[in-house]
């Protein structure tokens, strides 16, 4: 008996089909090469924003816990494109006159130092003067070292902190401040307090290392608001209340915006890859983030991220 067998033949790919498959693979690879860098850039920018937000939240929590101003310093590196930061603290507050009006060693009762504000007012305030006075023999050498530009005047009676811009004089120091307690003093044209504190400005927190932002990311100080750079570090400090302390960098602004981008991208920022903004609300210490808006106000989305905070 004969058994018939049927041979099965497999049809091969034609040259045209192979060329079509190869063309599809090449097209997909080209699309991946275009899309992947953008996705990676977005991830890097988002990681940098998360890192900065985390550092700010840690600093705010430390300030509240330690009852002393804490913050971060964006470190100037020769360009406006900052890639490193450190945690900072305010130097301990020196209280020149713990005895109040009665004085305490080394100051006698009639020689207790005090801070005095005087206002020249008409329909509006036309002049503000702040002095730190100690009758003879005057302020101690240690106290005088704290009354310098960049230092801070603390007024516990009012609950305010003020950055010292300039200081002159010896027995009586006349100082200019970045902001004045107009709201707290109301209609008063002269106000004196014997309770005040001084310190010489922020310093690096002991034992804290320099921290690097993710690769190919930076905070552009030139585009941030208030802008920074010009050879100076950028300090952001939180008070024990959780509010932002005025520094030479933040300049008493109501809101602070840190522009995060890729420093290797071209100057045409519209095509400069993913760009985000970290936002801080001074009056509450609220922290947010949003993409850059390419309209007339690049920070409009960042401002919305702070609403309700």
pLDDT (0 to 100) of residue 38: 53
Question: Which of residues 282 and 199 earns the better pLDDT score?
Answer: 282
Question: Which of residues 91 and 4 earns the better pLDDT score?
Answer: 91
β-bridge mates for residue 235, sequence order = 73
Q: How many residues does the chain have?
A: 309
Q: Do strands 125-133 and 114-121 pair parallel, antiparallel, or not at all (unpaired)?
A: antiparallel
pLDDT (0 to 100) of residue 72: 97
Nearest to 305 by CA among 284, 296, 76: 284
- Tally the C-alpha atoms within 13 A of residue 114's C-alpha that lie toward its C-beta: 17
Instruction: Please state, in angstroms and rounded to a whole number, the distance separating the CA atoms of residues 248 and 256.
Output: 13
Any residues with CB less than 8 A from the CB of 165 and at least 6 apart, and which? 149, 175, 176, 177, 178
Q: How many CB atoms lie within 10 A of CB 126?
A: 9
β-bridge mates for residue 199, sequence order = 152
For residue 203, what pLDDT band results from cuts at 50, 70 and 90? confident
pLDDT (0 to 100) of residue 300: 94
- Tally the C-alpha atoms within 13 A of residue 222's C-alpha that lie toward its C-beta: 10
pLDDT (0 to 100) of residue 156: 86
Instruction: Please state, in angstroms and rounded to a whole number, the distance separating the CA atoms of residues 188 and 224.
Output: 37
Question: CATH number of 39-91+204-305: 1.10.3720.10, 3.55.40.10, 3.30.450.20, 3.90.230.10?
Answer: 3.55.40.10
Question: Which of residues 275 and 33 earns the better pLDDT score?
Answer: 275
Contacts by 247-253, CB closer than 8 A, 24 or more apart = 247/163, 247/202, 248/150, 248/163, 250/226, 250/282, 251/178, 251/226, 252/163, 252/178, 252/179, 252/282, 253/225, 253/226, 253/282
What stretch(es) of the chain map to CATH 3.55.40.10? Answer: 39-91+204-305
pLDDT (0 to 100) of residue 189: 86
Nearest to 238 by CA among 250, 228, 230: 250
């Amino acid at each position: 008996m004969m058994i018939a067998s049927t041979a099965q033949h497999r049809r091969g790919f034609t040259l045209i089909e192979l060329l079509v498959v190869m063309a599809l693979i090449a097209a997909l690879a080209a699309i991946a090469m275009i899309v992947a860098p953008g996705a990676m850039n977005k991830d890097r920018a988002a990681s940098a924003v998360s890192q900065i937000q985390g550092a700010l939240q840690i600093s705010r929590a430390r300030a509240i816990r330690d009852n002393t101003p804490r913050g971060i310093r964006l470190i100037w590196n020769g360009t406006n494109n900052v890639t490193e930061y450190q945690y900072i603290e305010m130097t301990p507050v020196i209280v020149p006159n713990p005895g109040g009006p009665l004085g305490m060693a080394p100051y006698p009762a009639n020689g207790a130092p005090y801070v005095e504000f005087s206002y020249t007012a008409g329909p509006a305030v036309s002049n503000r003067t702040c002095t730190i006075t100690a009758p003879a023999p005057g302020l101690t050498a240690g106290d005088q070292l704290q009354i310098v530009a960049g230092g801070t005047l603390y007024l516990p009676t009012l609950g305010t902190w003020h950055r010292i811009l300039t200081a002159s004089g010896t027995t009586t120091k006349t100082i200019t401040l970045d902001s004045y307690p107009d709201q707290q003093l109301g209609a008063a044209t002269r106000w004196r307090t014997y309770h005040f504190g001084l310190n010489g400005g922020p310093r690096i927190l002991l034992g804290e290392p320099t921290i690097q932002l993710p690769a190919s990311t930076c905070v552009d100080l030139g585009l941030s608001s208030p802008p920074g750079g010009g050879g100076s570090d950028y300090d952001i400090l939180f008070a024990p209340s959780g509010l932002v302390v005025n520094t030479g960098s933040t300049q008493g602004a109501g809101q602070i915006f840190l522009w995060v981008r890729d420093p290797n991208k071209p100057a045409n920022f519209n095509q400069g890859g993913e760009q985000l903004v970290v936002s801080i609300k001074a009056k509450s210490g609220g922290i947010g983030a949003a993409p850059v808006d390419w309209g007339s106000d690049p920070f409009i989305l960042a401002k919305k991220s702070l609403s309700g905070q």
